[in-house]
Amino acid sequence: MTEILFIKTSSLGDVIHHMPALTEARQRRPEARFTWLVEEAFAPLVLLHPAVGEVIPVAWRRWRKSLMWPVTLGEIAASLRSIRAQRYDEIVDSQGLLRSALIARIAHGRRHGYDRHSIREPLASPFYDIHHSVSRALHAVERNRIITGLALGYTPQGAPDFGLDRARLAGGGVRYAVLLHATARTSKEWPQENWIALGRALGGYDVELVLPWGTAAECARAKAIVAALPRARVPDLAPLDAVARLIAGAQFVVGVDTGLLHLAAAFGLGTRLAAEQVISEPLNHPEAIYVLLGTEMRLLDRESLRVVLLDTRYRLIAIREISKGTLNESLAHPREIFKPAISHSACAFVLAHNHPSGDPAPSDTDMRLTRRVAECARILQIQFLDHIILGSPQEGRAGYFSFKEAGIL
């Protein structure tokens, strides 16, 4: 039997994004046995994937807080023995960090990783035996699938399959929806009063609202929200596999930008970003559009072009997807953009589309489309307020590009 080790330790979103690579590897290499080395908190979730033969948990997040304590050093030594206990035919590090490359180097087997132009931390690349070139402009799901295929001798094909059987994991009983209010970064939090307003707005959906949590502060916040709602509850603290089952059984999920929302999407659940539910401010500036659409569209692995339709006070009428494209392009004709604007009697509109690479810089195609739409808008006398390209924020760079702010519109 061929033994294959995958190294993808964290974060939760990254772990979920690697699951399609594992699903496809099992289909293309049915004779293989797959081991996954992962952060201990995410091990219960990884074990839900039917292709996983074994999980090797590591506790780097916990260890680094007490690195020199004897008990920590003992746990690290035990973990290293587990990593070296098996000889692997292929070792695939799709994490691309120095610490994951060091783990790959410790393990016995042929080590595959990104080359220095493709990797997140170039210092990690020399620790691999075989280096693969995979564009950093691709979505994480595609990068994982490609490096896995290169390492195991096949070319990825078809749509991603996360390998999680929602029907098997979901329980029966009361109809409920999950509100994912908790996030590790305070900058991604949504105001408590907005969650309460959302909960009241969902009162007509005949569902119980469930607010899971992971820390004491999140528990207190969930209880405060639930106290203001007629049909809501705070569940007990649960491991990640139990939370996954909770999400699998939900009618729908509303959440902020958190790994659990990626999990809901992996189940194929109807998901909505919280900001879209009860937004009331005028949408005539790019920051508002970014709050409205940015988090959701960053989850997409293909370009999606949407039109945000506004009334005379620049408040939201509707959002319509005009086209869904490839990894790096979304094609649309101006007439497809103006159809919903006219049918909804919109006074103004904003175009928005995502770049799966995370870089919001406009392409030549984006520039041409913007000029054509602006010309048509002048003829039809409908205000074309802006074209926003949504990406990922980085140090020194916003997570979006605004044609209006750039002086192009």
Please state, for a pLDDT cut of 70, what percent of the chain lies above it.
Answer: 95
User: How many C-beta neighbours within 10 Å does residue 206 have?
Assistant: 9
What is the end-to-end Cα distance of the chain in Å, rounded?
A: 61
Q: Answer for the pair 371, 381: CB distance below 8 angstroms, yes or no.
A: no
Domain 2-152 matches domain 166-276 at the CATH topology level: yes
Taking CA atoms, 23 is separated from 49, 109, 191, 205, in Å, by 8, 22, 38, 35
Least confident of 97-106, 173-182, 187-196: 187-196
Q: Answer for the pair 384, 377: CB distance below 8 angstroms, yes or no.
A: yes
Structure tokens that stand for 257 in this block:
């930008």
Least confident of 70-84, 88-102, 323-337, 352-366: 323-337
Q: Is the pLDDT of residue 172 over 80?
A: no
3-state secondary structure of 363: coil
Residues 6 or more apart in contact with residue 70 via CB below 8 angstroms: none
Residue 318: pLDDT band with limits 50, 70, 90: confident
Domain-wise residue ranges, the chain: 2-152, 166-276, 286-402
Q: Answer for the pair 316, 349: CB distance below 8 angstroms, yes or no.
A: no
The predicted model gives 125-144 an average pLDDT of 93
Residue 278: pLDDT band with limits 50, 70, 90: very low
Q: Answer for the pair 284, 309: CB distance below 8 angstroms, yes or no.
A: no
Helices (H), 202-273: 216-227, 240-248, 259-266
Residue 344: pLDDT band with limits 50, 70, 90: confident
Structure tokens that stand for 308 in this block:
């945000």
Burial of 100 (0-12, 13-18, 19+ CB in 10 A): buried
Mean pLDDT of the chain: 90
Residue with tokens 């392409």: 363
Taking CA atoms, 19 is separated from 60, 148, 246, 335, 361, in Å, by 21, 11, 19, 39, 29
Give bridge partners of residue 304 from the DSSP assignment: 324
Burial of 394 (0-12, 13-18, 19+ CB in 10 A): exposed
Domain 166-276: which topology? Rossmann fold (3.40.50)
3-state secondary structure of 112: strand
Q: Is the pLDDT of residue 46 over 90?
A: yes
Taking CA atoms, 351 is separated from 175, 303, 304, 365, in Å, by 36, 13, 11, 14
Residue with tokens 């919001």: 360
Residues 6 or more apart in contact with residue 47 via CB below 8 angstroms: 55, 241
Q: Is the CATH code 3.40.140.10 the one for domain 286-402?
A: yes
Amino acid at 323: S
Per-residue H/E/C for 281-340: CCCCCHHHHHHHHHHHHHCCCCCEEEEEEECCCCCEEEEEEEEECCCCCCCCCHHHHHHH
Which range, 69-73, 176-180, 321-325, 393-397, is most confident?
A: 176-180
- Bridge pairing between strands 232-233 and 130-132: unpaired
**pLDDT at site 385:** 96
Q: Is the pLDDT of residue 193 over 80?
A: yes
3-state helix, strand, coil in the chain (%, to 5): 40, 20, 40
**pLDDT at site 386:** 96
Residue with tokens 């690195």: 67
Q: Answer for the pair 309, 319: CB distance below 8 angstroms, yes or no.
A: yes
Please state, for a pLDDT cut of 90, what percent of the chain lies above it.
Answer: 65
Q: What is the DSSP letter of 203?
A: G
Q: Is the pLDDT of residue 325 over 90?
A: no
Architecture per CATH, 2-152 = 3-Layer(aba) Sandwich (3.40)
**pLDDT at site 270:** 61
Q: Is the pLDDT of residue 35 over 70?
A: yes
The predicted model gives 1-18 an average pLDDT of 95
Residue with tokens 């990797």: 119
More confident residue, 8 or 172: 8
